[in-house]
Amino acid sequence: MSGRPSTSHWGAYLVRAEPDGEIVVTPHPADPAPSPLLGNIPGGLRHATRVRRPAVRRGWLTRGPGPSDRRGRDEFQEVSWDKALDLVAGELARVRGTHGNQAIFGGSYGWASAGRFHHSQSQLHRFLALAGGYVSSRNTYSFGTSEVLLPHLVGSSGPVLGGGSSWPAIVANTELIVAFGGIPEKNTYVTPGGMTTHGTPGYLAELAAKGTKIVLVSPLRSDLPDYVGAEWYPVVPATDVALMLGLAHTLATEGLHDKGFLDRYCVGYDTFERYLLGDSDGVPKDAAWAGPVCGVEPDTIRALARRMAAARTLVTVTWSLQRAQHGEQPVWAALTLAAMLGQIGLPGGGFGHGYGSMGDVGSHGALLRLPTLHQGRNPVRTFIPVARIADMLLCPGARYDYNGQRLTYPDIRLVYWAGGNPFHHHQDLGRLHTAFARPDTVVVHEPHWTATARQADIVLPATTSLEREDIGSGRRDSHLIAMHRVVEPVGEARNDHDILAALAARLGFGGAFTEGRSTRQWIEHLYGEWREGMLGAGHQAPVFDEFWAAGECRLPEGPEHFTLFESYRADPDRSPLYTPSGRIEITSATVAGFGYPDCPGHPVWLEPSEWLGSPLAGRFPLHLIANQPGTRLHSQLDMGATSQRAKVAGREALQLHPQDAAARGIAAGDVVRVFNDRGACFAGAAVTTAIRPGVVRLPTGAWFDPVGEEARLCAHGNPNVLTADIPSSRLSQGCAGQHALVEVERWTGDPPPVTIGSPPPLLPAYRP
């Protein structure tokens, strides 16, 4: 072994520190397909953008707490840890005393780093719960729309989002995969908490070797690897539902749908069929109707529907499709299509959601409870759906809909964030910048000077996983990893836990927070609890010392051939779904009863406000896809070697079709300006035929580098200056950041320099 095992969200690896302090990272020997993202780790560790000392925004330090439009623009004053902790503890006490715990927002969404104990969000939630509570956030940016929708359709989101049918069952049985959004390999390296053996690329290669037919429905050909040999249907972005309806119409009118399955296992097909045939609205959703909307020839749609009915067919939808306005519809329509084929619950057939969205979807590792830090009970019941952060800050007291409830935004005075980067992950960053001017105080724990750290008042330097001890593993992982410390903390960085323990001590609940344990004792404790559970369930697990010395232990596998909804299919009366009817709800009386025009009671085609068929396309004729990057995880380690290699002209690469490039006089390598009414960013042009004409792709995660006071222009290429801060619908209020209409122009002048690779102006008044 050339190092000790450690793990990251993009996989386990071996790491060692050289005498000169540099670290060497190599793939884990058990991993058949290690992630290229490992290449970002060494360069990130001691990069110039590490936060080396606690820092306070000068305006906050001199004028004290209060709303300020200087956030993101002021200099920072470095201070001692004691001073910083006194300031944070004092401000928490002030806000609690004056406004109550309802005024503290501690949702703190974000992926942070792998590691079960030093999970930033769990640490912060435990701390704030003991401090009297906090306004929390619910659901995720990843699949927040499906999390709310699926319980109405199949009783729970767990089985669908938790992995679906296993790859071996698919490889053995599936004849045709119709993949809406494809199965993008780049995402399959990523799993929250880590993954030691990345299986998806190997299974895709097996499917190709077997000759399994795969239909890729996406404007981007890269949404399935070339070696799979997929048939590419370059659909117009945001119109998958029209294509699905065209397919469903062909099935229904040619008698290819499975009426027996629909009667026995589903409710509400008749209502949907009346819509499909045009009986309820006068518009038959036939292939001739669907073709011009989605850009696929009507004959091709009809032929595909017939092929789907004649084969063992798996209909899959990526999570990216629900990360859009009306994002409920592609998920609901795909489930309905699969139900019409009657193969849900049959090996290799039916419905899947998230193949290619995450590494563990389709994995057959056992779904085990991992060592977990208890977060305690949050006495404050107020929450927001996670993607409504800017609305909350901008509109305290406003009422809004969410999943059948009328909720009210709280009045937030203190925002506390650890382990997330909202100035990467949220939409319409110019609007978010305005929203972040509203609270009295923003506290951020961060290893790096991200855009979010720069928008804070108090920045506390956090360690990365290489600088501390932990235990790491992901859902369905093959290994539990003993994450030894590899290097000493960079600068004066401290672990999130130690920062919060020091604050808890100042606020009088230090003992309750730490329970008297050191970090090593916590790790042993969490491991011990986990081991007891494992032994109780009949699994083996070594004692802690053995595990720690060995560096890892193997985890049990789940059933290799698993099929989603198999037990439901076998006996729907004895194993009903947890829906009101106990059946798959193609029409949901509950959702219909909410009366939301943007999410009626069965799947429908609803035009988004921004797509190539909307009036706005007259001014902004290109459809931007802002999807997950292939060269980093979200915004993490954007300064690392893998991420930097893919930049064009020092900026994030914007992919566009040669026709669109030629029409604008753009050549590969040019600096371009991408813009719409919300904002603009600079990017580097990458010209490719692997994209539908009229579509451009700019992935998320280039560090936001705002130019000017309004923060509506990014020098570096963060697409979230362009995306709209609107929800998927009133049902789920999910993130809709995947799409926006834009225009692109070649930039002939001097573009603003990219400055985000250096720290913000720091006043080094304090030296240890």
Tell me: does residue 431 bind ligand PGD (CB under 6 A): no
Nearest approach in angstroms of CB 122 to ligand PGD is 11
The one segment of 110-118, 348-356, 547-555, 674-682 that binds ligand PGD by CB under 6 A: 110-118
∠ CA(570), CA(571), CA(577), 5° rounding? 110
Tell me the C-alpha to C-alpha distance, in Å, between residue 419 and each of 109, 133, 473, 496, 531: 7, 19, 18, 9, 27
Distance CA 18, CA 11 (A): 22
Rule CB under 6 A: choose which of 35, 40, 102, 120 binds ligand PGD: 120
Distance CA 219, CA 717 (A): 21
Nearest approach in angstroms of CB 739 to ligand PGD is 9
Rule CB under 6 A: choose which of 125, 353, 634, 712 binds ligand PGD: 634
Nearest approach in angstroms of CB 111 to ligand PGD is 4
The one segment of 158-166, 442-450, 568-576, 656-664 that binds ligand PGD by CB under 6 A: 442-450
Tell me: does residue 425 bind ligand PGD (CB under 6 A): yes
Cβ proximity of 104 and 135 under 8 Å? yes
Nearest approach in angstroms of CB 424 to ligand PGD is 5
275 is an active site residue: no
Distance CA 17, CA 25 (A): 9
Tell me: does residue 188 bind ligand PGD (CB under 6 A): no
Tell me: does residue 141 bind ligand PGD (CB under 6 A): yes
- Residue closer to ligand PGD by CB (options 200, 313) is 200
Tell me: does residue 734 bind ligand PGD (CB under 6 A): no
Distance CA 605, CA 616 (A): 19
Distance CA 209, CA 41 (A): 34
Nearest approach in angstroms of CB 236 to ligand PGD is 19
Cβ proximity of 568 and 577 under 8 Å? yes
Tell me: does residue 490 bind ligand PGD (CB under 6 A): no
**Residue 308: what are its φ and ψ, rounded to 5°?**
-65, -40
Tell me: does residue 146 bind ligand PGD (CB under 6 A): no
Distance CA 36, CA 616 (A): 38
- Residue closer to ligand PGD by CB (options 142, 222) is 142
The one segment of 59-67, 154-162, 302-310, 735-743 that binds ligand PGD by CB under 6 A: 735-743
Nearest approach in angstroms of CB 562 to ligand PGD is 25
Residue type for 551, please?
G
The one segment of 193-201, 240-248, 610-618, 632-640 that binds ligand PGD by CB under 6 A: 632-640
User: Residue 417's Cα: distance from chain center in Å?
Assistant: 17
Which residues contact residue 597 at a Cβ distance below 8 angstroms, ignoring those fewer than 6 apart? none
| Residue tagged active-site, from 109, 134, 409, 605 | 109
Nearest approach in angstroms of CB 329 to ligand PGD is 17
The one segment of 146-154, 420-428, 531-539, 689-697 that binds ligand PGD by CB under 6 A: 420-428
400 is an active site residue: no
Containing 739, the helix (H) or strand (E) segment is strand 739-746
Mask 571-610, x = binds ligand PGD (CB under 6 A)? ----------------------------------------
Tell me: does residue 221 bind ligand PGD (CB under 6 A): no
- Residue closer to ligand PGD by CB (options 314, 722) is 722
Tell me: does residue 418 bind ligand PGD (CB under 6 A): yes
Tell me: does residue 111 bind ligand PGD (CB under 6 A): yes
- Residue closer to ligand PGD by CB (options 464, 728) is 464
Nearest approach in angstroms of CB 365 to ligand PGD is 21
User: Residue 44's Cα: distance from chain center in Å?
Assistant: 21
Nearest approach in angstroms of CB 421 to ligand PGD is 4
Tell me: does residue 217 bind ligand PGD (CB under 6 A): no
| Residue tagged active-site, from 111, 265, 400, 530 | 111
Tell me: does residue 47 bind ligand PGD (CB under 6 A): no
Tell me: does residue 635 bind ligand PGD (CB under 6 A): yes
SS3 460: strand
Nearest approach in angstroms of CB 500 to ligand PGD is 10
* Three-state secondary structure string covering 65-133: CCCCCCCCCCCEEECCHHHHHHHHHHHHHHHHHHHCHHHEECCCCCCCCCCCCCCHHHHHHHHHHHCCC
- Residue closer to ligand PGD by CB (options 387, 591) is 387
The tokens 């990219």 sit on which residue? Answer: 754
DSSP secondary structure letters along 233-248: E-PPTT-HHHHHHHHH
Beta bridge partners of 651: 648
Beta bridge partners of 675: 680, 743
Nearest approach in angstroms of CB 449 to ligand PGD is 10
Tell me: does residue 336 bind ligand PGD (CB under 6 A): no
Rule CB under 6 A: choose which of 139, 142, 378, 473 binds ligand PGD: 142
- Residue closer to ligand PGD by CB (options 335, 633) is 633
Distance CA 83, CA 57 (A): 13
Cβ proximity of 187 and 218 under 8 Å? no
Tell me the C-alpha to C-alpha distance, in Å, between residue 88 and each of 274, 459, 470, 761: 60, 10, 26, 21
Rule CB under 6 A: choose which of 720, 728, 729, 733 binds ligand PGD: 720
- Residue closer to ligand PGD by CB (options 9, 285) is 9
Tell me the C-alpha to C-alpha distance, in Å, between residue 514 and each of 134, 241, 373, 510: 19, 51, 11, 6
Cβ proximity of 207 and 252 under 8 Å? no
Binding residues among 674-703 for ligand PGD as defined by CB under 6 A: 700
Rule CB under 6 A: choose which of 323, 413, 479, 497 binds ligand PGD: 323
Tell me: does residue 496 bind ligand PGD (CB under 6 A): yes
Tell me: does residue 420 bind ligand PGD (CB under 6 A): yes
Tell me: does residue 633 bind ligand PGD (CB under 6 A): yes
Nearest approach in angstroms of CB 528 to ligand PGD is 23
Distance CA 248, CA 243 (A): 9
Binding residues among 641-660 for ligand PGD as defined by CB under 6 A: none
> Which of 10, 39, 12, 4 has its CA nearest to residue 196?
12
CB closest to ligand PGD, residue no:
737
Distance CA 121, CA 114 (A): 12
Query: Residue 570: CA atoms inside 13 Å, Cβ hemisphere, count?
Result: 8
Please measure the distance between the N-terminal and C-terminal CA atoms of the chain and give it in whole angstroms: 38
Strands, E assignment, 604-702: 622-625, 653-656, 671-675, 680-687, 695-697
Tell me: does residue 737 bind ligand PGD (CB under 6 A): yes
Beta bridge partners of 745: 673
SS3 134: coil
Tell me: does residue 218 bind ligand PGD (CB under 6 A): no
The one segment of 85-93, 193-201, 625-633, 648-656 that binds ligand PGD by CB under 6 A: 625-633
- 324: tokens are 């859009």
Rule CB under 6 A: choose which of 627, 642, 676, 728 binds ligand PGD: 627
Tell me: does residue 723 bind ligand PGD (CB under 6 A): yes
Tell me: does residue 328 bind ligand PGD (CB under 6 A): no
Binding residues among 500-529 for ligand PGD as defined by CB under 6 A: none
Residues annotated as catalytic are: 109, 111
Contact residues toward ligand PGD (CB under 6 A) are 110-113, 118, 120, 141-142, 323, 418-421, 424-425, 445-448, 450, 462, 464, 496, 626-628, 633-636, 700, 719-720, 723, 735, 737-738
